Amino acid sequence: MSSMNVKTPDILVSEVGPRDGLQSISQAMPTDAKLRWIAALAGAGLREIEVGSFVSPKLLPQMADAAEVVAGAIKISDLTVLALVPNLKGAERAIAAGVHKLTMPVSASRQHSLANIGKTPEEAIAEVAKVRTLVDTLPQDQRPALEVGISTAFGCTMEGPVPEDRVIEMAELLAKAGADSVGLSDTTGYANPAQVKRLFKRLFAGIGAKAGGAHLHNTRGQGLANVVAALDAGVTTFDSSQGGLGGCPYAPGATGNIVTEDLVFLLESMGLSTGIDIDRLIAARAIIQAALPGEPLYGHVPDAGLPKGFVPAALRSDA
């Protein structure tokens, strides 16, 4: 962990590049490079990393080594290892691999849900309940946490606007189905700050302590503005991808996930500690560049550098 961790960080930055980023690009990163990258991210102070997805290797060959990556990642101290699972079968494989946390995507858009996982939203919620039952059969100290992200919560490329009432109703149903936390995902990069603040406030009002984090995309340049809006609503966990890796299949040439380096700088510059050493974080980009030659990486902070005299939040007298 970073030496600047003098207290528990204010904000949890959950890195999703090794899963969301890598599964979105055609090149496959070698397993040993994935593990070096994950170790470098953890060394920079990342405390939570989504390292893979337990789906069919035929569908996502980039994730075929998920169990091997988990096996390596769980050896890193002070790191919570996440994996995405679309269904009960995936959860069984992830649990066998030893993950600390399962994350399940459940789409608020019926068309997106059917296209993405071949299930209706109602069937996806029922699948979460099945995974909860499975987790509860395990010894208490071996149960991974179960989080759900509501995909297309802010709009869908197929359906267009998604009713906010539907999103909150789904969150309440997922909480009852046994999710430990339910977050909101701007899968398509449609969200705006007013919408983000409003919907997260409703999420906290609806499910209280089970309200989870924000998974935001920068497809239309709104990513960091949406982070500030979510902060105003009380969100303390944010997903991001180093270098904005993966792009966005819905908008060619546009970045997809918000860039971890830019997110960390935003938070730290606002006086919110993340426990992450930005210089070491930026240095980890070299592993991606070597393993995925030619893959575009994004980020204003890596391009421009840190401002002269920049002091991390944990070391500031006004923090």
Contact 21, 297 (CB under 8 A): no
> What is the reported pLDDT for 318?
62
What range does the domain containing 193 cover? 12-315
The reply to whether 142 falls in a domain is: yes
The percent of residues above 70 in pLDDT, for the chain, comes to 94
Residue type, 31: T
Q: Which residues are 102's β-sheet partners?
A: 83, 146
> What is the reported pLDDT for 108?
97
The reply to whether 151 falls in a domain is: yes
Least confident of 20-29, 172-181, 236-245: 20-29
pLDDT at position 20 over 90 = yes
Unique residue bearing structure tokens 């992830």: 94
Q: pTM of the entire structure?
A: 0.95
State both tokens at 129.
């309940």
Task: Report the mean per-residue pLDDT for the chain.
Answer: 94
The reply to whether 7 falls in a domain is: no
Give the whole-angstrom CA distance, residue 158 versus residue 280: 40
The reply to whether 207 falls in a domain is: yes
> What is the reported pLDDT for 3?
42
The percent of residues above 90 in pLDDT, for the chain, comes to 88
> What is the reported pLDDT for 315?
85
Confidence bin at 8 (pLDDT 50/70/90): confident
Confidence bin at 314 (pLDDT 50/70/90): confident
State both tokens at 99.
């993950």
Which residue of the set 38, 99, 248, 263 is catalytic? 248
The reply to whether 209 falls in a domain is: yes
pLDDT at position 11 over 80 = yes
Q: Let me know if 156 is a catalytic residue.
A: no
What contacts 172, CB < 8 A, 6 or more positions away? Answer: 206, 207
The reply to whether 3 falls in a domain is: no
Domain count, the chain: 1
Least confident of 177-181, 196-200, 243-247, 300-304: 243-247
> What is the reported pLDDT for 28?
94
> What is the reported pLDDT for 26?
87
> If residue 184 lies in a helix (H) or strand (E), which one and from where to where?
strand 181-185
The reply to whether 19 falls in a domain is: yes
> What is the reported pLDDT for 117?
86
pLDDT per position as a tens digit, 211-239: 999 999 999 999 999 999 999 999 999 99
pLDDT per position as a tens digit, 262-293: 999 999 999 999 999 999 999 999 999 999 99
What contacts 183, CB < 8 A, 6 or more positions away? Answer: 147, 148, 149, 150, 211, 212, 213, 214, 215, 237
The reply to whether 145 falls in a domain is: yes
The CATH code of the domain that includes 244 is 3.20.20.70
Give the whole-angstrom CA distance, residue 134 versus residue 38: 28
Residue 53 phi/psi, 5-degree rounding, is -135, 130
pLDDT per position as a tens digit, 161-192: 999 999 999 999 999 999 999 999 999 999 99
pLDDT at position 16 over 90 = yes
pLDDT per position as a tens digit, 72-122: 999 999 999 999 999 999 999 999 999 999 999 999 999 999 988 889 999
